[in-house]
Amino acid sequence: MDGDGDPVGWGLTRRIALGRVLSSQSGRGNTLPDTLERRRPIAPYPQGAPLAPRTAPDERPARRTLLDQIERLEQELSSVFVSTWPRKGFEFSVASRGGPRLLSLAELELLRDDLATRVDDARRSLSDRTYVEEKHRCRIEEMLLAPEEHKWVRIGNDDIGEPGCKHWHVRPRMGVLGILMNWWRVKISSGCPLAKGPCAP
């Protein structure tokens, strides 16, 4: 607002219009018109949507964050892989992205999501396997305490997540007589059989 209480720009318009009226009425007296022409001032800035920036946004911070997340997930996947040894049947592979090249942000996000899914699946599978192995260990203890309650049961090192060929097998004492008399025992193997070399000629 200017000093007369009018919007900014209207005072100047009024003065210009007043000068024109006075010059046109100079020969017909000093009578002033009742109304003056008022014009809306021109907007100082063009109206409409803002212009798009000419420079592309910097992708380096987002790329650095994604690469850090991928590195952390790879370390976690490696830790789970080490924890599963000597167990078998786990899947740790991650799909290739088309050979060595610079991945885009979208491809880095897909790689991160695949790694996160693989880590979760591997941890869940390892947790389920260790639960079953603990149940087998408890059963071995029960077999040693009461073999007659676990007839013909056989548990190996593979069942408890350990390397080697050792196994526990509940068998009758003295063959058929042990079966008739309910005499049972746990026979523990001595391990893997020795490898035999080629026979001498």
Per-residue model confidence as pLDDT tens digits over 148-169: 999 999 999 989 988 888 899 9
Give the per-residue pLDDT at 189.
Answer: 87
Contacts of 53 (CB under 8 A, 6+ apart): none
Average pLDDT over the chain, rounded to an integer: 78
Residues 125 and 129: their CA atoms lie apart, in Å, by: 6
Tokens of 134: 């603990």
Residues 75 and 152: their CA atoms lie apart, in Å, by: 44
Residues 160 and 166: their CA atoms lie apart, in Å, by: 11
Other Cβ atoms closer than 10 A to 132: 11
pLDDT lower than 50: segments of the chain: 2, 8, 32, 34-36, 200-201
Question: Does the predicted TM-score (pTM) go above 0.75?
Answer: no
DSSP E strands, 21-158: 154-156
Residues 82 and 198: their CA atoms lie apart, in Å, by: 36
Give the per-residue pLDDT at 32.
Answer: 47
